[in-house]
A and B are shown apart, each in its own frame.
Chain A
Amino acid sequence: MERHYMDSKIKGVSTGVSNVNYVCSKTINKLIQVHDRIFCCIAGSLADAQAVTKTAKFQISLHSIQMESPPLVKAAASVMKELCYNNKEELQAGFITAGWDKKKGPQVYTVALGGMLLSLPFTIGGSGSTYIYGYTDAKYKPDMSREECLQFATNALALAMGRDNVSGGVAHLVVITEGGVEHVVIPGDKLPKFHDE
């Protein structure tokens, strides 16, 4: 899930990966860096998502070199969208692209399964996201501070991981600002607990 606050972005993602009914890994990082200040959250088939992000990373670097400036977040999201839309029959992956650029500052884009591209102040995705639509609709407010955003993302992830059987493990958060990128990793036992835990 993405959070957009005043001058930076926070992305948060949980780490479970499963193969039908077997959890292959509890500690995968689903936040892929596609450029210095642009990250992608992946959801869906991990194989498809990895293939798409590898291709996108290459295309975005090439574009950035040709333009002689860091790429726009919108450009990176567009690259993801082209790949998803043109290969929509074969692919089963959704992405959230977010980052910071000099032209528009922090931005969040979502690329859905069929290749739709939307720009939003914040967004959630993946199988666990259905359980937190109500929570995020209720709790989100524009122009939150960095700490409020981090708390919001952590709480939302913890709630989703508590209900979705294929989400879990560790929560990865990334804060992207003009100044740089910061990773925050929260292990499962340090996540906020709710009334029935």
Chain B
Amino acid sequence: MAAATATRFCQQLSSVSDMSPDWTTKEVSTGTTIMAVEYEGGVVIGADSRTTTGAYIANRVTDKLTPIHDRIFCCRSGSAADTQAIADIVTYQLGFHSIELDEAPLVQTAANLFKASCYRYREELMAGIIVAGWDKRRGGQVYTVPVGGMLVRQPVSVGGSGSTYIYGFMDSNYKPNMTKEQCLHLVSGALSLAMERDGSSGGVIRLAAISESGVERQVILGNQLPKWSTA
């Protein structure tokens, strides 16, 4: 069934499980829905904004779209600590590489750096990451690095615990060669459907469109989310 779950069964150091709420003992997780789509000239990425520790929402306005370089972002899902640590490491490595090269780094390079860390430490980590951005050589690209450390390029990719609910929607609504507006529409629609069904996803939708000219970010608030007839 669903491969991408974000719950982590960690050791409970203290065993007062009945008296204290579960968020005192559970790890912080970005149980999540993240998505990225390639279009002609760039990529559109999106994420929900909920971070949970067990049943408590630790942060309801999280920003899971993390810049790695000027035109390269990553979408984080899984353990918040693990993904933040990996993103920091890759940002450093990519920045260094870019200075050595004296030009903007490739998205594929960033994706491979993520894969290297995620695969080497696969037993210790719980991180599902989507790397997306624009570069001069290949334009807009989306690479997915799920739990375990695989790397694969896809025209459209979803991740996180909420992603299972929108595979069908994504398969039926994605078509190659869409415009930026169509991609934004697809991503915001898919994310709102997932947020409706997945308890670990919710809050606001954060979107970003990355192209040669730069990064445009936007936020869709709870009351402005796309509505569907059954909601």
Contact surface of A with B, Cβ cutoff 8 Å = 127, 130-138, 140-142, 155-156, 159-160, 162-164, 194-196
Contacts and interface: CB of A to CB of B under 8 A. Distances in A.
A163 B164 CA distance: 9
Given A162-B171, A163-B171, A195-B171, A137 B230 contact: yes
A134 B230 contact: no
Interface in B159-213: 164-172, 174-176, 189-190, 193-194, 196-197
Contacts of A133: 165-166, 168, 193, 197
A138 B193 contact: yes
B183 to A, nearest CB: 14
B229 A132 contact: no
B172 A155 contact: yes
Given A127-B1, A140-B230, A141-B229, A134 B171 contact: no
Give the most central of A134, A195, A196: most B CB within 10 Å: A134
Contacts of A141: 229
Interface size class of B (residues with CB under 8 A): 20 to 34
A130 B165 contact: yes
Contacts of B193: 133-134, 137-138
Interface of B: 1-2, 164-172, 174-176, 189-190, 193-194, 196-197, 228-231
Contacts of B174: 195
A130 B164 contact: yes
Interface of chain A, helix or strand or loop or mixed? helix
A1 B165 CA distance: 15
A137 B171 contact: no
A159 to B, nearest CB: 4
A132 B2 CA distance: 12
Given A134-B197, A137-B228, A194 B165 contact: no
B230 A131 contact: no
A180 B101 CA distance: 73
Given A130-B1, A134-B190, A141-B229, A159 B172 contact: yes
A18 to B, nearest CB: 12
A160 to B, nearest CB: 6
B229 A131 contact: no
B171 A164 contact: no
Contact of B171 (A127, A136, A140, A194): A194
A117 B174 CA distance: 35
B167 A138 contact: no
19 contacts: A127-B1, A130-B2, A130-B164, A131-B165, A131-B168, A133-B168, A134-B167, A134-B168, A134-B193, A134-B197, A135-B172, A136-B168, A137-B196, A137-B197, A140-B229, A162-B171, A163-B171, A194-B171, A195-B175
B57 to A, nearest CB: 21
A13 to B, nearest CB: 16
Give the most central of A130, A156, A159, A194: most B CB within 10 Å: A130
A98 B1 CA distance: 26
